[in-house]
Structure 1
Amino acid sequence: MKKIIVRSGMSPLDTFSADEIIKRNTIGNNVGNLIYAYSIFRNITTENVELVSDYYKKNPNDADMINETYDAYILPLANGIRKSFIPSLKKYTALIEKLTIPVYVIGLGMSFSYEPNIREKRPYDDDVKKFVKAVLEKSSLLGLRGQITSDYLSHLGFKEGRDHQVIGCPSMYTFGNNIKIRDLKLSDSSSISVNMTPGADQNVLEFLNGLSYKFNNLNFIPQDMDEFLLTYAGAPLLGKSINSKLTNYPNSLDSLVYKQGKVKYFLNAPTWIEHMKNVDLSIGTRLHGNVAPTLAGTPSITIPIDARMRELSEYHNFPRVSSEDINGDTRLEELIEKVDFRSVEKSHQKNYDNFISFLSKNGIDHLYDKNADGVKQPLEIKLESIQLKQPIGPITTCSAGEMRERLEKGYEIMLSKTEKIDASYKKIIKAKDNSISKLKNNIEKKNEDIKKLKTKTKSMENSRSWKLTKPLRSFSSNK
């Protein structure tokens, strides 16, 4: 049997508890990462192929073990081209350079502003070049999430169609070309799912947050780790969250959706998608917050806030509105009138065929083209024997026993994170002390050099003075 290692924080077959996920950060700080990993696992797992998660480990020293154990390495990298990810990208580059097995990048994207200047020089350009070159030594071409990323790599010297190809997000092909969006009949009792990003414009956040006051049957689905901690333990366990100062954002237990228990934090992709089948409308600024309902056939409205979301929503033709379309007087009914909920269906077959061609060019065996209504893939059969974890709600909605357990485990998580932070600080302080010590040594050495130079200069001046005075004395004596 072939074994393929996949970059992911966890396998769909893993059933980690909420506290384990937090401790190990198996969601990579955003639970949306589980959606596209699920697509890869579901459609490349066969009776003869087993997929294994790398749990985000990226040690170049593991190259020999990986070469001996696995037949290929798949990297679904999402928005891997961003400043904060460059250290990880460098490690993957060093690892890939040592591998002798095929390496496939499926879904690489960037994190730029909404209207980026592609030709702008970025400090990590060379790092991205090295990574792409390393991958191209192990596969035919890279699959990119959108045209902006493609234009960026072309600017760096790589050729579109030869070195890279736009494929969108693999999550959109989880069930092959089977996307069918249901009709929407909005009413006061409609089930609404809202997703939000702290970085969205204030007018957008105000509008989305305001929906919780207008629709009783509404749920907020957070995705970030900060929000996970808030939902699980009641507060960010170390300091304030990144969105603690935002207004019009559900960032505390005092927020209406938390007070009313209308928050669901999902721990795996299948239960997330299944939940969305019973939702009438999804709206928000999260890409995978709207991919999940799309896979479930639920109408959605996406509000792109940056180039990352823009290129994906444009490629997959998501029903979308601009941030500029929203103000203090905007009503949900007005936005519904502006979109075509079936626009995503119209582009999907073409995008799907393009994705299949990308897999073929790389020689990747898959089941994407064998998806049909009612057909269960090998991974789904395995999942039937596993009890997947259900989404968690706010700690304030728990029984006294569960609340006590969450607080105790939350405290353990806080201690473990504190120890890691202390270790990191000690490492930083030690490095700074070493730098200061080296600087002191250099200063002392330079001071010694200056003293020697002064001594030498004084000696030369004395010698020169002696040579000048000696003839005068001789002249005087002769006289």
Structure 2
Amino acid sequence: MKIYLDLDEIDSIKTPYVQSSSDIMKITGNNIGNFAFRHALRFLVKEIESYKVVNWGDARRLINEEVRVEKVILSCANWLGFSDADERSNLVRAKIIEDFSAPVVAFGLGAQASNVDEKLEFGPNTARLAKAIAKHSEQISVRDEFTLSLLKKIGIENAIVTGCPSNFINQSSSFIKRLATQAENGRRKKLSLQKFIIGEFSGGNKHSGGVLRRSLEFMKETNSNYLIQSPVLLPFFLNESASVPSPYTANKPKDMSLESLEAILRQQVLGFSSVDAWMDFSRSCDLSFGMRIHGNMIPLQSGVPSVLIAHDSRTLGLSESMSFPKVSLSDFLGAELREIPELMYTQFLNQLPEYEYKRQTLSDTFKKFLSINDV
């Protein structure tokens, strides 16, 4: 048996209309954007359908039943964290990988930290997980140089930087050309005729509130859709709660009433239960920007110019590993509202050649990685 060790649902939610917000978060791993990562493996691993999707609980059952497992695929994401919760989760993961004692193919392993600090060290369970993956892998795909450096500190040498697998969802040979054309066409339109995607703000940064406030101001003046991924706004979006969440009330523009804020959120917030649906909507838009990698990657892979608002070392590290087009926090917060689209188009077009070059380089890296791991 070959298994794909992950959550039960890879890139879509079955019967989403009967699922509560808490159900949706449980199914997606607390972030709908996680689906982008997993969806990408359909395009990277040709034989992915021959792998049985197994969750971590069922994995332990297979071990107890002594079922022989030939190979394990892992879509890892931000497993290498530094919290007590990460330590608990990683002990479970490490034991399962050790007990399977089967070849592992690990995609996109990432270190999750609020800042890049050379003094950071993994906790014992997180280090144990990393070493278990390394021991059973020919080579590990990691998302950025920061993760690579931390793995080297604990003696792991068989890792290579690949960026995020979601960077390769779009396999069209005209992908980059279409992006350039879309950006040029979009910037020529009147502001009133443009349709924007704004990615959900990412909390935990001292500038998060400022970005949210600026985004709400922009939403008030433009044809914008605010795409959510996390638990914060989901209960309100699904009519489970009548109250606007506190991060939004606390960071609303001074000249915006609570009633106006609620109206904007009711009318302009969208959420999707599958990557395909998210991408299908995205292609109808002109421009995407926001604080989240996957919130921008999905529109980008749909052929829509997308720009990351670079706000912390974690996000910046991943964006730099892929040369994902970005704009500085100060430039975004300092721009006049009507200047924001032109700022984004300009930055996107200026950085697109580097993104194209880096994407091709990472594509070659992924091909070698897959060959080395015999998938």
Distance 1:94 1:55, change over 3 A: closer
> Equivalent residue for 2:293?
287
User: What is the rounded CA distance, in whole Å, between the counterparts of 1:39 and 1:211 in structure 2?
Assistant: 31
User: What is the rounded CA distance, in whole Å, between the counterparts of 1:119 and 1:11 in structure 2?
Assistant: 35
Cα pair 1:290 1:301 within 8 Å, conserved? yes
> Equivalent residue for 2:144?
146
Q: Deviations over 1:222-256 (max 9, x none)?
A: 1102322221124289xx95736631399x98434
Cα distance, 1:257 vs. partner? 2.7
Cα pair 1:80 1:110 within 8 Å, conserved? yes
> Equivalent residue for 1:247?
251
Equivalent runs, 1:104-183 vs 2, <5 Å? 104-114=105-115, 116-120=116-120, 122=121, 124-159=122-157, 163-176=158-171, 178=173, 179-180=175-176, 181=179, 182-183=181-182
Q: Deviations over 1:96-127 (max 9, x none)?
A: 1110322221101122234x21223x4x4322
Q: Which runs of 5+ in 1 are unaligned?
A: 365-479
Q: Deviations over 1:302-323 (max 9, x none)?
A: 0122232111111111110121
User: What is the rounded CA distance, in whole Å, between the counterparts of 2:67 and 2:331 in structure 1?
Assistant: 52
> Equivalent residue for 2:202?
197
Cα pair 1:44 1:51 within 8 Å, conserved? no
> Equivalent residue for 1:37?
38
- TM-score, with structure 2 as normaliser: 0.84
Cα distance, 1:55 vs. partner? 4.1
Cα pair 1:273 1:296 within 8 Å, conserved? yes
Cα pair 1:12 1:268 within 8 Å, conserved? yes
Q: Deviations over 1:68-104 (max 9, x none)?
A: 3x53222212111122322111101011111032222
Cα pair 2:170 2:302 within 8 Å, conserved? no
Cα pair 2:198 2:289 within 8 Å, conserved? yes
Distance 1:81 1:143, change over 3 A: same
- TM-score, with structure 1 as normaliser: 0.67
Q: Which runs of 5+ in 2 are unaligned?
A: none
Could you tell me which amino acid in structure 2 is paired with residue 169 of structure 1?
A: C
> Equivalent residue for 2:29?
28
Could you tell me which amino acid in structure 1 is paired with residue 346 of structure 2?
A: E
* Structure 1 residue matching 2:119: 3-state secondary structure: coil
Equivalent runs, 1:346-357 vs 2, <5 Å? 346-357=357-368
Could you tell me which amino acid in structure 2 is paired with residue 119 of structure 1?
A: K
Deviates more, 1:293-302 or 1:240-249: 240-249
User: What is the rounded CA distance, in whole Å, between the counterparts of 1:302 and 1:125 in structure 2?
Assistant: 30
> Equivalent residue for 1:54?
54
User: What is the rounded CA distance, in whole Å, between the counterparts of 1:301 and 1:348 in structure 2?
Assistant: 16
Cα pair 1:79 1:308 within 8 Å, conserved? no
Could you tell me which amino acid in structure 1 is paired with residue 163 of structure 2?
A: G
> Equivalent residue for 2:265?
258
The alignment of Structure 1 onto Structure 2 pairs a total of residues equal to: 350
Distance 1:7 1:280, change over 3 A: same
Could you tell me which amino acid in structure 1 is paired with residue 352 of structure 2?
A: R
Higher relative strand content: 2
User: What is the rounded CA distance, in whole Å, between the counterparts of 2:270 and 2:333 in structure 1?
Assistant: 27
> Equivalent residue for 2:4?
5
Equivalent runs, 1:61-72 vs 2, <5 Å? 61-65=61-65, 67-68=67-68, 70-72=69-71
* Structure 2 residue matching 1:327: 3-state secondary structure: helix
User: What is the rounded CA distance, in whole Å, between the counterparts of 1:92 and 1:242 in structure 2?
Assistant: 34
Cα pair 2:232 2:245 within 8 Å, conserved? yes
Instruction: Tell me whether 1:309 sits opposite 2:320 in the alignment.
Output: no
- Identical aligned residues as a percent: 21
| Structure possessing the higher radius of gyration over alpha carbons | 1
User: What is the rounded CA distance, in whole Å, between the counterparts of 1:56 and 1:16 in structure 2?
Assistant: 23
Deviates more, 1:320-329 or 1:102-111: 320-329
